[in-house]
Each structure stands twice: as structure tokens, then as C-alpha cells.
Amino acid sequence: MNKLKAVLLICFVLVLLFSVPCFAIDSDIDWTEDEWAYLNSNPVVSLGVDPDFVPFEFIDEDGVYKGIAADYLELVSQKTGITFDVTEGLTWPEAYDLAMKGDIDALPMIGITDERARHFLFSQPYYYFKRVIVTQDTETSISGIEDLNGMTVAVQRNSSYHSYLLSFPDINLSLYDSVEAALTAVETSLASRSPMAISQAPRKKTLSFPLTRCMNRSRAEVRKNC
């Protein structure tokens, strides 16, 4: 059983943990003999994470990986003995680039887009959340994505908003290494709009995206239904 297939099976377990009541996390996982053999001989899975994707995943001031994904990975680790090793010191764009090259096993918190599906294999979505289009307070004309045609939109590089907006060639993208930098660009009028995932931002329009886990398609053959 190859490493990538086992990682995807672990992703499936994570989906189950999100989908059932809390008491179910104490029940035994019914691994096959081959799966247990793999887990015992391959105890470490490397991860690339977004250090600022609060509350889903983030690196705190002490350098500790925390958030919803971190909590559930800890549960899976307790049930399987797998160690999830976060590659330290990376921005999200850098973590994404390494996953694209196959230098990192998995991204535990990532949005699905058509463009990304050409490069990655995804677990089943375990959460849907709203992204927003943030504008300056004076902007009242935005009712949908199509209204951004011809405008400059600030996005975090390698984010799912970046990937999603590649399908709209008439939107001019201005790329930044963090969500905060993209917001600052909008605030200072360097960009017209900034799609991002901050629900408390003032003027906003929402877009719905699934969150899931993924790994590079080139690493091995895997089941699609994981």
C-alpha cells in the first residue's frame, strides 16, 4: 500500500470525525491488515499549512500549529499512531508550491477549485464556508463576481480565491503573500476589490467554498473516492 493512498485514507477518517457526534471519536477504527502494516512502517506524514488561516489552522505566537485542523489531526494521531509533521517557517504560498512539487505529503486545510483539481487529489469536503468580496465603504455597485470584470482584485497568492479567479480572464489579479497585505491594498486603493475569508469585514459579498485535504496527483495512484 503506497504512502499517498494511506494519507488519503487518513483524510477519510478525518471526514468521518467531522461528520459524527463527539462520542464516536472514542470508537475503534476498522483498519485492514495492510493499512495497519503501512501505518506501522510509515509513521510520519509531512504537512504544509497556512500560518494565518484562523480559526481553521494557524501557527500561534509560540510557533505551535493550532486550529480546527490541528485538533482533528491530533485525534487521528492518537487513534493511528501517525505523526503529522508540520513543515515550519513557510508562508501559505511557499507551502502550496512545495505540495505542487510533491515535496510535502499533504495540505490539511484547502479549498477545492477546478484549477487545483488538475494537480491534487482531494478528500471528501468536510466543511463549507463563506468567502467574501471586501470593498471600500463607498463601493455599492458589486452584486456578483461578474461585476469585477476589468477591475484589479487583490488576492493571496496560491489561495483558493486566486485559483478560482483564474477562470475569469477579464479580472486583473494583484497577488500578495498574505490576506492582510491584500486587505491593505484595498484600504489604500492599490486594488479595487479583495476576495478573502474574513466574515466580519464591513462591506462584503459572499462566495461559498468547500474545505478539504489534498495531496499531489503525481505522487502515486490512489482511489478517487476517499
Report pLDDT digits (tens) over 65-119.
999 999 988 988 888 788 999 999 999 999 999 999 989 989 999 888 888 888 8
Segment 31-35 mean pLDDT: 76
**DSSP character for 125?**
P
Q: Which domains does the chain have, with CATH numbers?
A: 3-128+211-219 (3.40.190.10), 129-209 (3.40.190.10)
Which pLDDT value is given to residue 217? 67
pLDDT at 25 over 70: no
The pairing of beta strand 152-156 with beta strand 172-176: parallel
Report pLDDT digits (tens) over 210-222.
677 676 665 543 3
Least confident of 33-47, 60-74, 205-219: 205-219
Which pLDDT value is given to residue 8? 43
Distance of alpha carbon 213 from alpha carbon 147, whole angstroms: 31
Look at 185 and 213; give whichever has higher pLDDT.
185
Cell of 55: 480559526
**Where does the pLDDT of residue 209 fall: very low under 50, low under 70, confident under 90, or very high at 90 and above?**
low
Least confident of 38-42, 54-58, 59-63, 89-93: 38-42
Closest by alpha carbon to 102, among 217, 8, 21? Answer: 217
Considering just the CA atoms, what is the radius of gyration of the chain in Å? Answer: 19
CA 20 to centroid of chain Cα atoms:
22
Residues 151 and 172 sit within 8 Å (Cβ to Cβ)? yes
Distance of alpha carbon 127 from alpha carbon 146, whole angstroms: 26
Give pTM, 2 decimals. 0.66
Distance of alpha carbon 173 from alpha carbon 68, whole angstroms: 30
Which pLDDT value is given to residue 98? 95
Distance of alpha carbon 153 from alpha carbon 48, whole angstroms: 26
Which pLDDT value is given to residue 210? 67
Which residues does residue 45 pair with via DSSP β-bridges, in sequence order? 84
Report pLDDT digits (tens) over 133-180.
888 877 777 777 888 888 888 888 888 888 888 889 999 999 998 888
Cell of 82: 501517525
202-205, long-range: CB within 8 Å, 24+ apart, which pairs? 202/134, 202/137, 203/134, 203/135, 203/136, 203/137, 203/139, 204/132, 204/133, 204/134, 204/135, 205/132, 205/133, 205/142, 205/143, 205/144
Which pLDDT value is given to residue 5? 44
Distance of alpha carbon 9 from alpha carbon 21, whole angstroms: 20
Helix axis angle, 3-19 to 33-41, nearest 10°: 110
Cell of 93: 504560498
Residue found by looking up cell 464516536 in the block: 24
Specify the amino acid at residue 38.
Answer: Y
Segment 32-54 mean pLDDT: 84
